[in-house]
Each structure stands twice: as structure tokens, then as C-alpha cells.
Structure 1
Amino acid sequence: MYPNESNVHHIQRHPDYYINGGDLYFLVDHYQFRVHRYFFERESAFFRGKLTVPAAPGANRLGTDVSSAIVLDGVKSNAFAKFLWVFYNPKFSIYTAPVDDWADILTLAHRWGFPEVKALCIRELEQLFMSDIDRIVLYQDHDVDRHLLLPQYAALCEREQPINLHEGLRLGLETTIMLARARECARAPLNNGLRSPSSANIDQSEIHAIIRDLFGLKASLPSPPNQDATNGVNGIHAGGWVTIS
């Protein structure tokens, strides 16, 4: 896909990620990125499939120069820059970023199949504050192991307020129904045969067991994301545009 002529005149090199020695070119929004092919071929089957296709006779191999730059459709240049920061972070294993940045990186890592980058995002997000609803929605949208959401599911079952309409729309029908059932079980009949309208009547371990049963989760939590998840993330420092969604 080729940008129209009016857009071509506004294209400029990205101030941080047009790297001398880079051998892979991207066009995102109106910015040219020049980075290292190694990162994209090493971990992502999605990009390996795109980048290993032989070029047509007389054409340049995909992404090898400005004329064959890969256009990333539906991606903002600032989000792509955040994603590249994972590989070019000068502080090696020290990654400091706010929740919104990690969410953007997680989105691209999940879309393009970068498991090590995804694990890094989860590791860092687990150390940052997020509301229970926000964490559940983010993790569910990106197929993160639901075992990690057990504390958030439990908190929604234990709180006095039921899940409201806005929260239910964000959580999705399945999760909302499962949590409603868990809340009902947690408010088991008291001596007078009535359920508590506010607080749960059982201890947290029992609530966890109810949630695990309803969501089909194993009894033991998985190990936290590898603290060495950055190993293999930082590696080195250093014809026509094709659109990739």
C-alpha cells in the first residue's frame, strides 16, 4: 500500500529510532523507523513469515530500504516507539514505565506474537497499581493467564457493591456471570436462611476455591513471570511499501 503524494512530503525520520546500522525499515504514521531485523525475526513468527518471503525478481526484499519499508497499519508511532524501547532500553534489565505504556507494549507484543516481550509486560504490570476492573479487562483482552487474576476476581466477589452495568460491559458477559455466581456462593445462607446482601460469609481461601472451580483454574497459581524475562529482549544496541495489520 502506498501513501498518497501529499502524505509522502510529510514523512520524516523518527528522532529516536532511525538507527544507523539498522537493517529493517518501517513506516508508521508519518515517521520512518530504521531498526534491527534481528529482534523481529528472532522472536515473532508473525514477522518471520513476513520477512523471509523472497523478493520478486528485480524488487528489494521487504523492509530492506526506505522504498520497501513496512507500513504498520492501525499502529500509532508513539506506541511503536514504546515497543522498540524494550529492545533499545539503555538500562538493560531496568525497565521503568507507567501502566499505560506497558499496556501499549503488551498490545503490540500480543498482536505480533512476541512471547518474551509479553512476559516482560506482565512482570512489570504485576508490580504496578491498577484497579481490579482495569487489570481484568487488560489481561483478558490479551489472553494473559487467568490464574494471575484470582486476587482481582476475589476482590470483586468480596466487596459490598455488586458489579454495575458499566463494569459488566467492560468485563464481558462470561466473566460477569461467573463473578455473579461466585458472589452468590460467597454469600451463602446464614442461620436465618437469608443471604448476606453485603459482605461474603466465607474466608478468602474458600472464595478462591469457588472462583477456581467456576473459571476452571488449577488449584495452584503459576510461577510469576520470569524475573529474567528481559534475557533475550535486549540483544544489541546499536520496491514498495507493504502494509501489515
Structure 2
Amino acid sequence: MNRSRFFLEPEVVFLCVTDESKREGHLFRVHRYFLERDSELFRGMFACPPTEASSEGQTEETAIHLPDVTPFELECLLSFLYEGMYERAVSLAEWVALLSVSSRLLFDKIRERTISVIETHAPALEPAERIVLATKHDIPQWLNPAFTELCTRADPLSGDEANQLGTELAERVTRAREMVQSRSGCGQPGGVGFSKAFVGCGCKDCRQARSESVRASYVAMVNSVIKETISLVL
């Protein structure tokens, strides 16, 4: 009898994570196959010679400890591995947790999927949270749009946003907002600073061209301010 590629070994491993808020451990018993299939970290771990890791993860006493992973994050990961093919409601908080654990444990394809979902999720993450996550998990494409939103909106940074960003970065964002408002006249495309960006005869086509020119100039100015005042600390 020939064995097909779906002749899977019934191996399971024990994983342990700590709930820091309650100072207690949480034990998980899961199939090794999914971990080894999707994670570079676990593939390397399980590839170790038997003499080095023969007992790790095989019993509750030798469970593999995953530092800096919360029980909620690991539950989100396992839910995705075991139930990801089924339609189910997944909250934004769960996707954020999945981003964290997939980044830490090198589940690269799950990380890519999670980034894509978060980018198109409605409602979107607040810009300060996007900046924190992008910096922590190396997602550079999230940074400029989030900083642009903070620097061009009417409302200043809230206390909660300042706490999320940290003192130095919050101060730089505040400075960038001031520069954007100063350089654009009234802080918006079409302000005094951009009123002469395009000159035309006043027809519909010229008005549209002027609007596009003003918008392009404004975006370029905002990007320049962000690069000048913020990017140095990233």
C-alpha cells in the first residue's frame, strides 16, 4: 500500500503562553503539522536533531514556551489555522492580534493576509494605531498615509494618541501639523499658499486642471514636511 501525500503523522505538540495580567500560564495542545507547514520558526525548531529537542513540546511539562505572545493572540492564530477556510465574523481586534503573533512566529503567508485585510477593513484603524503597528511589525507602507492623516486633519493629537506615539514622535507630529498649516495658508488645499498654483481662463477644463495642480502641490508639500520632521525618527 502506497502512502499518499496526505498520510499525516498524528503528532501533537504542547505550547505554553503566559497571561501577564493574571500571572498565569495557558497550555495548548495542537497538531504539529499546521505549525511546521506555515511557520519558518517552527520548521526550524522541529528540524533540530532528536538529541537536541526530542522531548520539547511532547508533554505538558516540556511545553514549548512562546514569550511575548498572549493567550488571545495564540487563540486567534489557531482559530485561523483550524477554521480559516470557513466564513466567520472576525473582529478588527482579532486581526490585529493575528498580525502580532504571525509576525513574531514567522507565519509569513498569514501575516500577508492579515496586512491585506487590515488595510481594507471598515472602519479603519485609527492613524496613531497604524503607526504603532507599522513600526512594531515592519509595515512601512502604512506610515506615510497615517502621518498624512494626522498632519492634515482639523483635530490636533488627542492625549491618547500622544501616549500611543510617545513623547518625541508626538512632538514631531505636532510640529509637522504646524508647518503644514503655515505653508498652505489655511491648512487645506486651496489655501492662500496654493491660490496661484495654476492660472487659466476660468473654463471648466481650466478649473479642473487648477484643482488637480493645487492638490498635487499640497500633497507634495505634506510629504516634504513629513519627511523633514518625522521620518528621521523612524
Q: What TM-score range do you get, normalising by the shorter chain? A: 0.5 to 0.7
Task: Name the structure 2 match of 1:28.
Answer: 17
Task: Name the structure 2 match of 1:113.
Answer: 106
Sequence identity of aligned pairs in percent?
A: 24
Is 1:72 aligned with 2:72?
A: no
SS of aligned partner of 1:92 = coil
Whose RCO is larger (CA < 8 A, sep 6+)?
1
- Worse-matched range after superposition: 120-129 or 157-166: 157-166
- Worse-matched range after superposition: 62-71 or 109-118: 62-71
Q: How many positions carry a matched residue from both structures?
A: 188
- Higher Cα Rg: structure 1 or 2? 2
Name the CA distance, whole Å, in 2 between partners of 1:34 and 1:106.
Answer: 22
What are the equivalent positions in structure 2 for 1:94-173 lying under 5 Å apart? 94=87, 96-126=89-119, 127-129=121-123, 130-145=125-140, 147-164=141-158, 166-172=160-166, 173=168
SS of aligned partner of 1:68 = coil
Name the CA distance, whole Å, in 2 between partners of 1:32 and 1:115.
Answer: 24
In structure 1, stretches of 5+ residues that fail to align are 1-19, 190-194, 217-245
CA pair 164-27 structure 1, distance change in 2 beyond 3 A: closer
Task: Name the structure 2 match of 1:9.
Answer: none
Given that residues 160 and 199 in structure 1 are in contact (C-alpha distance below 8 angstroms), is that contact kept between their aligned partners in structure 2? no
Is 1:184 aligned with 2:189?
A: no
TM-score by length of 2: 0.64
Name the CA distance, whole Å, in 1 between partners of 2:61 and 2:159.
Answer: 50
Q: 1 or 2, which has the higher helix percentage? A: 2
TM-score by length of 1: 0.61
Name the CA distance, whole Å, in 2 between partners of 1:45 and 1:21.
Answer: 20
Shift of 1:67: 4.3
CA deviations on 1:3-62 (whole Å, 9 max, x unpaired) are xxxxxxxxxxxxxxxxx94522213354432222233223433223322222338x7342
Is 1:83 aligned with 2:77?
A: yes
Name the CA distance, whole Å, in 1 between partners of 2:16 and 2:158.
Answer: 42
Paired AA for residue 78 in structure 2:
L
Q: CA RMSD in A?
A: 3.3
In structure 2, stretches of 5+ residues that fail to align are 1-8, 19-24, 195-213, 229-234
Name the CA distance, whole Å, in 2 between partners of 1:88 and 1:207.
Answer: 48
